[in-house]
Structure 1
Amino acid sequence: MQPQTIARLTTIAVVSNVVVQILIIGTGGAVRLTGSGLGCSTWPNCEPGQFTPSFHDATSIHPYVEFGNRVLGAVVVLVALLVVALVQASRVSGVRPAPTIAYQRLAVLPLVLSVLQAVLGGLTVRFELHPALVGSHFLISAVLVWISAWLVTGWFRPMRSRPVLGAGARRLGWAMATVAGVVVILGMIVTGSGPHSGDADVGYRFAVDPVAVARLHSASVWVFSALLVAFTVVTHRADGGAPASRMRRHTWVLVVVTLVQGAIGYVQYFTGLPELLVGMHMVGAALLVAATAFTLASMYERSPRAALTN
């Protein structure tokens, strides 16, 4: 296979990887919001001796929601496997610039963690939606989105050189990313402590005060927003030509995602947590993680692949 063909296929794979990692959070949210966590009573089969759900007069939507999420999980693993294979092929086939050893190692992580997710999904069914397993499922997906976003950046702009921002500003960016992680973790606890915890028979999975933890989650969002405002100001003072302009664009995308996510959060809270808004909020959390990763990656000047191959 020609190096140009492998490079194009790798581009499709790394982009598809971040897309499916975000989509699986959406379908996982659908499982939780419809109370379909035990729609399939066993794993890897949906029912004992049967891989797919069985249709009969008493069939509910739950098996199909759960099985659909499992199918997408298999797609996620397949795409992650393709990423590993194509990145390795890019290195040995003469694609220029060749992926670095560090990039190859990073490319393996989505496959490893996606397989772990599949096993964790099985354990979640076996232990009847234990809250620690359900919460871990979501958090690992958030980590996968972060890694996948870095893979996209590293493929399209493989050569990192000088930083666009000073050391203090970069520390501010990483502090913002750390708080984003806290926001996501607290958001997971909020969902697990409320009526959309994932089990139709249990009103909550985490035995904490949902109002108190929601307020704590909201406070962390405000801290993140304050850091984002400060970071936005710093980026607009940066003088770095095209790299600085690109960093500002990524920052504004993050600002927009944050504003939309915050608006959805407050609207869902004051309207009784409608399922659609909760699901949108979960997907929004994945987009927030991706946008934060892209923004932090832009703190360094990066040469585009097209320029390096000419």
Structure 2
Amino acid sequence: MSAAPVITSPAGTALDRRARWTRPALVANLVAQIGIVVTGGAVRLTGSGLGCSTWPQCEPGAFTPAIHEATTLHPYIEFGNRTLTGVLGIIALLVAVLVWGDRGRSRSYRLLGLAPLVGVAIQAVIGGITVLLDLAPAVVALHMLVSLGLVAASTVLLVRHRTGDGAPRPVVAPWLGATGWALAALTVVVVALGVVVTGAGPHGGDDEVAYRFAVDPALAARVHALAVWAFVAVLVALLVGLFRAPSPATTRRAALVLLGVTLAQGLIGYVQYFTGLPEVLVGLHMLGAGLLAAATTRAVMSLRPRA
């Protein structure tokens, strides 16, 4: 006797497609959120921050750079970053549709799926204000910090997709859980101080107009380094605790990945400081900031996974 054919309803087909596309969309969103940090850094490091003189248009009366004899690469670099923002917006919209439409998941998870789209919209406005205020350092700093916040939120969203909607449950000793929260707080401090260092240094985004934070760059760099060493000390304490006591392999692996990112980021930071802040190394350091935000978020969440 032959088996009865399996009939897939239209609703089931739609659910299958949603499940198949959600994870790739979330991964693409996280990659793009980190990528926009790097391209934004390229705008700043090449002095292209005012390559487009206005917003939302690039030049008065035109959304694209005007071509003439005096045209440099700066307008195209700035316009390219704006275009990538549009691509990121499309990915964020896809994420919002896929996650919000998943009625089988909790409301908190579905609301989190809207964060990338809302964040991109906010970033577009902040970017416009940055241009209109001639790259005011406080607004530029806010632009960077919001980007890193979106990297963290996108990491949370990706991890939540792979896990369930149950309540978070500790898998390590309480003091190790507290160490994880300390790492998260120190990450905010380290990143904020790093933004101040960049805002006080030579890479303001435009060689003629851009302003700088009125602080000593060398002093700001030393304070930033102290915060990094505090972060490393807490991370080492976490790793020692994880390997001395029973803990899940995924938790240990997440902490080791964070250690690798931290050491690489620290090495780049010291090399760029002692070599006069070359643009390539500063750009790599900005990439490292995005990876650090993602790795820290993943490591902290691995201490209290959801059922």
TM > 0.5 between the two? yes
Q: Which residue matches 2:193?
A: 186
Partners of 2:205 and 2:169 in 1: CA distance:
46
CA deviation after TM superposition for structure 1 residue 89, in Å: 2.1
In structure 1, C-alpha distance between the alignment counterparts of 2:147 and 2:105, rounded to whole Å = 25
Which structure: larger Rg? Answer: 2
Counterpart for residue 102 of structure 1: 108
Q: Secondary structure at the match of 1:66?
A: helix
Contact 2:100–2:114 under 8 Å retained in 1: no
Q: Which amino acid aligns with 1:16?
A: A
3-state SS, counterpart of residue 114 of structure 2: helix
Choose the corresponding residue for 2:284, options 271, 280, 286: 280
Q: Distance in 2 between matches of 1:170 and 1:110?
A: 27
Residue 136 of structure 2 contacts residue 211 of structure 2 at CA under 8 Å; is this kept in 1? Answer: no
1:60 alignment partner, SS class:
coil
- Residue 302 and residue 237 in structure 1: after superposition, are their counterparts in 2 closer, same or farther (change >3 A)? farther
Q: Does 1:87 align with 2:91?
A: no
Unaligned runs of 5+ in 1: 92-97, 304-310
- Report how far residue 132 of structure 1 moved: 1.1
2:136 is equivalent to residue 124 of structure 1? no
TM-score scaled by structure 1? 0.92
TM-superposed CA distance for 1:247, in Å, is 0.6
Tell me what 1:13 maps to.
25
Task: Write out aligned runs for 1:164-203 (5 A).
Answer: 164-201=171-208
Among 68, 87, 100, the alignment partner of 1:56 is: 68
Which structure 2 residues correspond to residues 20-99 of structure 1 after superposition, within 5 A? 20-91=32-103, 98-99=104-105
Q: 1:201: how far off?
A: 1.6
Runs of 4+ off more than 6 Å: none
Query: What residue in structure 2 maps to residue 306 of structure 1?
Result: none
Residue 114 of structure 1: aligned partner? 120
How many residue pairs get aligned? The number is: 294
CA distance in 2, matches of 1:8, 1:238: 38
Structure 2 counterpart of 1:158: 164
Q: What does the per-residue CA deviation read over 1:185-218, in whole Å, with 9 as the maximum and x for residues that have no partner?
A: 0000000000012121257510100010000000
Aligned to 1:299: 303
Aligned-CA RMSD value: 1.3
% identical equivalent positions: 52
Mapped partners of 2:218, 2:286: distance in 1: 18
Task: Specify the code of the residue in structure 2 equivalent to 1:51.
Answer: F
Structure 2 residues without counterparts, runs of 5 or longer: 1-12
Is the partner of 1:78 in helix, strand or coil? Answer: helix
Match runs of 1:126-275 below 5 Å: 126-160=132-166, 161-201=168-208, 205-240=212-247, 244-275=248-279
Deviations 1:29-68 (A, max 9, x none): 0011011110001111111111111223221110011001
TM-score by length of 2: 0.93
Deviation at 1:159, TM superposition (A): 4.3
User: How many Å separate the matches in 1 of 2:23 and 2:245?
Assistant: 30
